[in-house]
Amino acid sequence: MTIKKSTVNIFIYVQHLLGIGHLRRASLLAKAMENAGMSVVFASGGRPVSYLDIGDADFLQLPALHASDNSFKILKNIEGSVVDDTWKEQRKELLLSAFREAAPDVLLIEMFPFGRRQMRFELDPLIDLAKSMNIPVISSIRDILTTHKTPGKSEWIIDRVQKDIDHVLVHGDPDFMPLEDSFPLAAKIKDKIVYTGYVVEHDIESPDTRSATKREGVLISGGGGAVALPLAEATIKAKDFSTLKNVPWRLLLGTNLPDQEFNDIVKRAPDGLSVERNRSDFYTLLSKAQLSISQAGYNTVMETLMTETPAIVVPFSADGQSEQTDRAKKLAKAGVLSLLSEANLTPENLAQKIDDVVQKSQTQKSNTQKPGSKIKVDVRGTQKTALFIKDLIEKRHNKRDILCPK
């Protein structure tokens, strides 16, 4: 792998295994850093996403792998074969070679050691290499972590952070969702934690301009697509039960949903429901929709709040995954969205939720109340992350100049 940039400030490592939320958040950070005048190398280890936008960052696609199912225990390559130790060794060497060539000022790793422990075959040596080159290591994590039920796992995370991680950037708002709520041992590393606010794409339109535009239609999004089938099935059957059955419906499904299942949904979709793969203009589509139906991942939920779109969320909760449910419950309690659990996801229940949200939205409109007006969260995560890292780099350069005067 050849690094195109002559000088690299930040080397970003991101591995999406099932959905694309981690990739989406990291891509927004990469663009913000480039816009702030920094040079970025973006190393992605997941399956390629055609609409990924990282701005002017230098993109490195590692040999792709993904989780075979929502247990995250078995890793497969792009051909669908389980990866063995030889495959892992080859990918590790590609990653380390690229990092040596880049010789960045900062290494930013998405999730590890709070997650992505499956990737220790390459992350342990990558971190060791960074430390040997005196390069600070930053862990970039979302607002809520999946609850760790395995004895000793949280303690292991704390030990790794204390030994190997210089800073932990929490892309959330402590006044809304402190890290301690999902990771009780956070106080042990409070000296390394920096809250950045939520990382979201900022619309070029003002809220007033957006609200003046007539919203129409229902937008259903299934994230990366790997676990979107239940939502898709419920959607195609719920449409004709709903009071919104006569407006346009659009169902977006990510490329992680196999083509055979995607094509089957397309064939069975009722009139008035278009089915597409994910689009790069999702944010724009969301801002024009009169209703959003989705899972409750970090990016989709925050973009829904940003666009002030009435919403129903169905949190992904399989195999003990608690993150989306925790986020959805908090926002539902605040009255800014409607929650339907996976266990209760049926066409009839979904149609009833749609009708309830429509009625609520009409009431709010008559009272001039906006959907997201009951809650305020810090959404300056892209800017604040870029400024934090830029300041860190400048301080390191100044220290280097003092130690090695010209």
- For 74-132, how does the pLDDT look when each residue is reduced to its tens digit (9 = 90+)? 999 999 999 999 999 999 999 999 999 999 999 999 999 999 999 999 999 999 999 99
Query: 229: helix, coil or strand?
Result: helix
Whether residue 162 sits in one domain with residue 56: yes
Q: Is the pLDDT of residue 62 over 90?
A: yes
In a domain, 2, yes or no: no
Structure confidence at residue 400 (pLDDT): 58
Whether residue 177 sits in one domain with residue 129: yes
Whether residue 188 sits in one domain with residue 85: yes
In a domain, 248, yes or no: yes
Which structural domain range is residue 16 located in?
Answer: 10-198+379-403
Structure confidence at residue 256 (pLDDT): 81
**Total structural domains within the chain:** 2
Structure confidence at residue 403 (pLDDT): 45
With cut-offs at 50, 70 and 90, classify the pLDDT of residue 356: very high
Span 132-141, average pLDDT: 97
Least confident stretch, 21-25, 97-101, 220-224: 220-224
Structure confidence at residue 401 (pLDDT): 52
Structure confidence at residue 398 (pLDDT): 82
In a domain, 3, yes or no: no
Structure confidence at residue 366 (pLDDT): 60
With cut-offs at 50, 70 and 90, classify the pLDDT of residue 209: very low
Span 48-57, average pLDDT: 91
With cut-offs at 50, 70 and 90, classify the pLDDT of residue 402: very low
Whether residue 263 sits in one domain with residue 158: no
Whether residue 276 sits in one domain with residue 172: no
Determine contact, residues 131/137, Cβ cutoff 8 Å.
yes
Structure confidence at residue 289 (pLDDT): 97
Structure confidence at residue 227 (pLDDT): 79
Least confident stretch, 218-232, 255-269, 297-311: 218-232
CA distance 120 to 15: 12
Span 222-236, average pLDDT: 86
Structure confidence at residue 312 (pLDDT): 97
Q: Is the pLDDT of residue 406 over 50?
A: no
How many C-beta atoms surround the C-beta of residue 35 within 10 A? 13
Helix (H) or strand (E) holding 375: none
Span 170-180, average pLDDT: 95
Q: What is the CATH number of the domain that holds 172?
A: 3.40.50.2000
Q: What percent of the chain has pLDDT over 90?
A: 74
Whether residue 319 sits in one domain with residue 237: yes
Whether residue 179 sits in one domain with residue 273: no
Whether residue 224 sits in one domain with residue 109: no
Predicted TM-score (pTM) of this structure: 0.89
CA distance 14 to 127: 14
In a domain, 75, yes or no: yes
Q: Spell 217-243 as b/e; 16+ CB within 10 A means b.
A: bbbbbbbbbbbbbbbbbbbbbbbebbe
Structure confidence at residue 220 (pLDDT): 96
In a domain, 237, yes or no: yes
In a domain, 26, yes or no: yes
In a domain, 174, yes or no: yes
| Residues 290-342: tens digit of each pLDDT | 999 999 999 999 999 999 999 999 998 876 678 899 999 999 999 999 999 99
In a domain, 161, yes or no: yes
Mean pLDDT of the chain: 89
With cut-offs at 50, 70 and 90, classify the pLDDT of residue 68: confident
Q: Is the pLDDT of residue 204 over 50?
A: no
Residue with tokens 């793969």: 277
Whether residue 220 sits in one domain with residue 148: no
Whether residue 241 sits in one domain with residue 187: no
* Phi-psi category of residue 34: left, alpha or beta, with phi > 0 → left and psi -120 to 50 → alpha: alpha
Whether residue 399 sits in one domain with residue 295: no
Whether residue 290 sits in one domain with residue 355: yes
Q: Which two tokens stand for residue 250?
A: 């659009």
With cut-offs at 50, 70 and 90, classify the pLDDT of residue 370: low
Q: Is the pLDDT of residue 404 over 50?
A: no
How many C-beta atoms surround the C-beta of residue 53 within 10 A? 13
Structure confidence at residue 2 (pLDDT): 62
